[in-house]
Amino acid sequence: MPTPVTIVILAAGLGTRMKSRKAKVLHRAGGRTLVEHVVATARNLAPGDHIFVVVGHQGEQVRQLVAAQGVRFIEQREQKGTGHAVLAGRQDLSGLGGYLVILYGDCPLIRAETLRKLIARMKQSDAGGVLLSARMADPTGYGRVIRDARGHVAAIVEQKAATAEQLAIREANMGIYCFRAPLFWEHAGRIQPHNPAREYYLTDMVEILNRGGHFLEALEVEDTREVLGINNRQELAEADRLFRERKLRELMLGGVTVVKPETVTVDDTVSIGMDTVVEPFAQILGNTKIGENCRIGACTIIRDSVLADEVEIGPFSIVATSGVGRGAVVGPFARLRTGNQVDAGAHIGNFVELKKAHVGAGAKANHLAYLGDTEIGAGTNIGAGTITCNYDGFQKHLTRIGERAFVGSNATLVAPIEIGDGAYLAAGSVITEAVPPDALALGRARQVMKPDWAKKRRALGKK
Ligand code: UD1
Ligand code: CA
């Protein structure tokens, strides 16, 4: 039986340096809130019932975001520091054996692999705890790691409390620890708010354990980008950039071509198949799945959508909660607003808006149309300027168009309405009655002709 690992994630603070009404861990980077990232990483190391999230500020929102991961929660009613936050879980946690891993909710880039190394080091060592540290070019704001002659960690000194000599130390505390759980709880009660901020610092555990005759080790991370702590909006933007870079690297190594990757935004939750090309400034967000050999045009935004193989989305298109079948072509300048299904080989062209529309295989709507609450059969052609009048001011109604039908340009279809297979609608028609299969429907005023009218008008004007 492997020794159990319990993970505690501190996420109760407001984060005053964010200058926000929203709790810091609810801010987003890489397409997810900070706390979601940390919980997802923790779930790679331990089952949900071994993960405890300390909540306080906007705790209800934090709970809702991560409850589906099966994690447990600890309520910290007043936020009196990182030590106080862990002690809030004393009742639930102090009986546990094995190892206690502590993560901060504002350090979202940490990878499971690095945490595994931390735990492995703890297991090999006789130390009371191991913490993650990093040598930084500019460690301003971080606690400094003070090492003793043996190289063990003697203390962590917060920026505010550090002497000039200590401030010159480049090795910083990352806020990620692994302790022997029974030893931790035996000593944790000794943390006192004896500092200018009157807070209970978790970092005091280092000196406390040292005084108790134990030693601590620091494991230096190689890549300091992984341990960026987010305290303000600038660091938030930096974390976002790093998440994007990480995701794009993964996609490119998996066979996706990304043109000008520094401009492209892809959420962590997205998957993209081989040989797909993503053009500059594209944003691919949420639960989106893209198949192989697709092309995602420049400046296109795709959210929560599923694209089969060989799909082409032209530049400046928006595709939201929609499905697009194999070989279909959408855009440039198309908008699939929500709840659409565009079947294989269909074409949706520029300035066409779809809402809850099902466009059958090979059907085409190539220019300037609004198709809402609409069913369009396979092979049907929708002319430029076609409008489905789906809303009567009170309710939404359906438009059903059969297969291989032809809707002339600038037709207005007043829903609810049904157009049969193979029917023909004359250009400029206002269609208010059902059209049977293979019929021609004209719904427009007959043309009036007045010979020489214009000529006479001009002659009048000259007088
Ligand atoms: C902390 C460390 C510092 C380290 C840095 C790394 C302490 C005393 N200092 O400083 O050594 O270099 O992180 O990023 O631990 N939190 C609670 N309840 C509280 C207070 C904080 O849950 O009462 C949570 C916050 O929501 C946050 C995390 O703990 O996610 C860290 O708190 P923060 O105030 O940002 O600590 P730092 O000052 O950055
Ligand atoms: Ca912090």
Given this model, what pLDDT does residue 14 score? 92
Q: Which atom belonging to ligand 1 lies closest to the Cα atom of 142?
A: 12
Residue nearest to ligand 1 atom 25, measured at CA: 13
Given this model, what pLDDT does residue 196 score? 85
Q: Which atom belonging to ligand 1 lies closest to the Cα atom of 200?
A: 8
| Beta-bridge partners for 198 | none
Mean pLDDT (the chain) is 96
Given this model, what pLDDT does residue 405 score? 98
Among 227, 258, 273, identify where a domain stops.
227
Q: Are residues 268 and 408 in the same domain?
A: yes
Q: Are residues 219 and 245 in the same domain?
A: no
Q: Whose atoms come closest to the Cα of 106: which ligand?
A: 1
Q: How confident is the model at residue 200 (pLDDT cuts 50, 70, 90)?
A: very high
Q: Burial level of 196, CB count in 10 A (0-12/13-18/19+)?
A: exposed
Q: Are residues 216 and 249 in the same domain?
A: no
Residue 225 corresponds to which tokens in the numbers above?
A: 């980008």
Q: Are residues 210 and 250 in the same domain?
A: no
Q: Are residues 51 and 145 in the same domain?
A: yes
Given this model, what pLDDT does residue 2 score? 74
Q: Kindly report, residue by residue over 62-83, the tens digit of the pLDDT.
A: 999 999 999 999 999 999 999 9
Residue 417 within a domain: yes
pLDDT at 1 over 70: no
pLDDT at 136 over 90: yes
Amino acid at site 151: G
CATH number at residue 360: 2.160.10.10
Residue keyed to tokens 């000194």: 157
Residue 235 within a domain: no
Among 227, 262, 293, identify where a domain stops.
227
Catalytic site residue from 37, 84, 347, 367? 367
Residue 51 corresponds to which tokens in the numbers above?
A: 């993960």
Q: Which atom belonging to ligand 1 lies closest to the Cα atom of 54?
A: 22
Q: How far is the CA of 266 from the centre of ligand 2 (A)?
A: 26
pLDDT at 417 over 90: yes
pLDDT at 3 over 90: no
pLDDT at 304 over 90: yes
Residue nearest to ligand 1 atom 3, measured at CA: 143
Domains contained in the chain, number: 2
Q: Are residues 244 and 223 in the same domain?
A: no
Residue nearest to ligand 1 atom 8, measured at CA: 201
Would you say 325 and 340 are in contact if contact means Cβ atoms under 8 Å apart?
Answer: no
Q: What is the pTM of this model?
A: 0.87
Q: Are residues 294 and 349 in the same domain?
A: yes
Q: How confident is the model at residue 383 (pLDDT cuts 50, 70, 90)?
A: very high
Q: How far is the CA of 318 from the centre of ligand 1 (A)?
A: 40
Among 200, 227, 254, identify where a domain stops.
227
* Mean pLDDT confidence for 156-183: 95
Q: Kindly report, residue by residue over 327-375, the tens digit of the pLDDT.
A: 999 999 999 999 999 999 999 999 999 999 999 999 999 999 999 999 9
Q: Are residues 426 and 295 in the same domain?
A: yes
Q: How confident is the model at residue 195 (pLDDT cuts 50, 70, 90)?
A: confident
Task: Ligand 1: list residues with CB < 6 Å.
Answer: 10-13, 24-25, 54, 76, 79-82, 84-85, 104-107, 142-143, 156, 158, 172-175, 201-203, 229, 231
Q: How far is the CA of 9 from the centre of ligand 1 (A)?
A: 11
CATH number at residue 130: 3.90.550.10
How far is 75 from 444, CA to CA, in rounded Å? 69
Q: Are residues 263 and 354 in the same domain?
A: yes
In whole angstroms, how far apart are CA 284 and each of 295, 300, 315, 322, 346?
12, 8, 13, 13, 22
Q: How far is the CA of 239 from the centre of ligand 1 (A)?
A: 17
* Mean pLDDT confidence for 86-112: 95
| Beta-bridge partners for 205 | none
Amino acid at site 126: D
Residue 447 within a domain: no
How far is 407 from 404, CA to CA, in rounded Å? 10
Non-local CB neighbours of 210 within 8 Å, separated by 6+ positions: 154, 155, 216
Q: Are residues 245 and 206 in the same domain?
A: no
Residue 453 within a domain: no
Catalytic-residue membership of 367:
yes
* Mean pLDDT confidence for 434-442: 98
- Ligand 1 pocket test: which of 104, 110, 225, 226 has the largest number of ligand atoms within 8 Å of its C-beta? 104
Q: Kindly report, residue by residue over 279-302, the tens digit of the pLDDT.
A: 999 999 999 999 999 999 999 999
Q: Are residues 221 and 334 in the same domain?
A: no
Q: Whose atoms come closest to the Cα of 58: which ligand?
A: 1
Non-local CB neighbours of 123 within 8 Å, separated by 6+ positions: 3, 99
Q: How far is the CA of 354 from the centre of ligand 1 (A)?
A: 47
Q: How confident is the model at residue 131 (pLDDT cuts 50, 70, 90)?
A: very high
Q: Are residues 272 and 372 in the same domain?
A: yes
Non-local CB neighbours of 448 within 8 Å, separated by 6+ positions: none
Residue 256 corresponds to which tokens in the numbers above?
A: 């996706």
Q: Kindly report, residue by residue over 399-414, the tens digit of the pLDDT.
A: 999 999 999 999 999 9
* Mean pLDDT confidence for 377-390: 98
Residue 216 within a domain: yes
Domain with 171, as residue range(s), is 5-227
Amino acid at site 292: E
